[in-house]
């Protein structure tokens, strides 16, 4: 059953990006394996030295790698694609490996320049993620140039998801620069203002490239027509954008994630409402489809 699931997953990608798909699966397994490690060894979930990082970075890196493989397979061919995809897969793998390594060494993986080795590993992670971010920008631009083998609703989901991934990468760079400045000033690297969380907006939409195409696929599976599917995805994109605006506003105002004002609470409610509306339309489509087949 597991091998069949892996085969089905790999079938969604093309030969050019097969390396990204394989590394994505490996990273997902790494994240799951560290869940078991955490269950056995214990320890806090939050903090600079925690099993949370190998778990989340493994799963997040794996999902991102798989999504990039899928997007790549839908683009018109370009010379060097297979090599670039392999280099991107390698960069993602090494990035997560270094984070795992630091946790197994019992030291912080981020904002850690305590020793020359720690500083070198931290700088290496920065270089790797910048390289991957540039590849993501390139893929996003190619998605808008035409010739993409996707229906309109899925194309909208892919384009919006990749744009939001680019935004998330940019925010990730800001998180790193801000954190280094905080450390140099003797302050907490993962705080902005009084209680803002810099990684909050970075993490808010980093996986939109998974959930927006998933919504498009679910709308098709529910039997919705092309126009209805496009509307559902568009509403989900608007909702996701509102969640990003909410996260940015909370952070830049120096407020904790859910220490809302009237305005930010309204933005959050509108964003969630859009996503609920999209999911409700899919649910109604499924009910209609079942009733028609009964």
Residue 108 CA, distance from chain mean position:
22
Q: Domain for residue 185, yes or no?
A: no
Q: Which residue in this structure is represented by tokens 């009733």?
A: 291
pLDDT in tens, the chain (294 residues): 445 555 655 666 667 889 999 999 999 999 999 999 999 999 888 888 999 999 999 999 999 999 999 999 999 988 999 999 999 999 999 999 999 999 999 999 999 999 999 999 999 999 999 999 999 999 999 999 878 889 999 999 999 999 999 999 999 999 999 999 999 888 898 899 899 999 999 999 999 999 999 999 999 999 999 999 999 999 999 999 999 999 999 999 999 999 999 999 999 999 999 999 999 999 999 998 888 765
Nearest Cα residue to 222 out of 288, 177, 267: 288
In a domain, 94, yes or no: yes
The gap between the terminal CA atoms of the chain, to the nearest Å, is 30
Residues in Cβ contact with 12 at an 8 Å cutoff, skipping those fewer than 6 apart: 21, 69, 70, 73
**188 belongs to a structural domain:** no
Q: How confident is the model at residue 276, as a pLDDT?
A: 97
pLDDT score at 98: 97
Measured between alpha carbons, how far is 178 from 192 in angstroms, rounded to an integer? 8
- What's the pLDDT score for residue 68? 96
pLDDT of 15: 76
The string over 167-199, giving b where at least 16 C-beta atoms fall within 10 Å of a residue's C-beta and e elsewhere, is bbbebbeebbebbbebeeeeeebbbbeeebbbb
Rounded Cα distance, 164 and 209, in Å? 8
Q: Please report the pLDDT score of residue 147 as a whole number.
A: 82
**Domain for residue 289, yes or no?**
no
CA nearest neighbour of 76 among 156, 165, 20, 150: 150
Give a yes or no: residue 288 inside a domain: no
**Domain limits at 141?**
8-149
The pair of three-digit structure tokens given for residue 198, joined into one six-digit string = 């810099």
Nearest to 260 by CA among 271, 270, 249: 249
Give me the number of domains the chain comprises.
1
Does the residue 282 lie in any domain? no
In 3-state terms, what secondary structure has residue 196?
strand
60 inside domain: yes
Establish if 80 belongs to a structural domain.
yes
């Amino acid at each position: 059953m597991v091998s069949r699931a892996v085969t089905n997953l790999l079938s969604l990608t093309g030969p050019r990006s097969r390396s990204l798909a394989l590394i994505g699966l490996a990273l997902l397994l790494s994240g799951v394996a560290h869940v078991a490690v955490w269950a056995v060894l214990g320890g806090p979930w939050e903090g600079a030295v925690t099993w949370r990082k190998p778990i989340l970075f493994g799963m997040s890196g794996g999902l991102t790698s798989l999504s990039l493989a899928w997007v790549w397979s839908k683009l018109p061919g370009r010379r060097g694609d297979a090599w670039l995809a392999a280099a991107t897969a390698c960069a993602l793998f090494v990035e997560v490996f270094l984070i795992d390594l630091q946790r197994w060494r019992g030291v912080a993986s981020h904002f850690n320049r305590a020793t020359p080795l720690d500083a070198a590993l931290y700088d290496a992670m920065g270089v790797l993620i910048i390289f991957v971010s540039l590849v993501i920008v390139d893929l996003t631009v190619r998605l808008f140039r035409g010739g993409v083998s996707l229906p309109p609703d899925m194309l909208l989901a892919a384009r919006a998801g990749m744009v939001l991934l680019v935004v998330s990468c940019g925010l990730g760079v800001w998180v790193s620069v801000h954190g280094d400045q905080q450390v140099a000033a003797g302050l907490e690297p993962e705080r902005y203002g009084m209680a803002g969380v810099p990684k909050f907006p970075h993490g808010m939409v980093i996986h939109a490239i998974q959930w927006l195409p998933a919504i498009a696929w679910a709308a098709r599976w529910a039997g919705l027509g092309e126009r209805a599917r496009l509307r559902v995805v568009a509403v989900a994109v608007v909702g996701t954008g509102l969640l990003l605006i909410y996260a940015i506003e909370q952070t830049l105002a120096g407020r904790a994630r859910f220490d809302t004002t009237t305005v930010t609470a309204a933005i959050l409610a509108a964003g969630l409402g859009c996503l609920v509306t999209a999911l409700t339309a899919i649910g109604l489509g499924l009910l209609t489809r079942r009733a028609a087949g009964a």
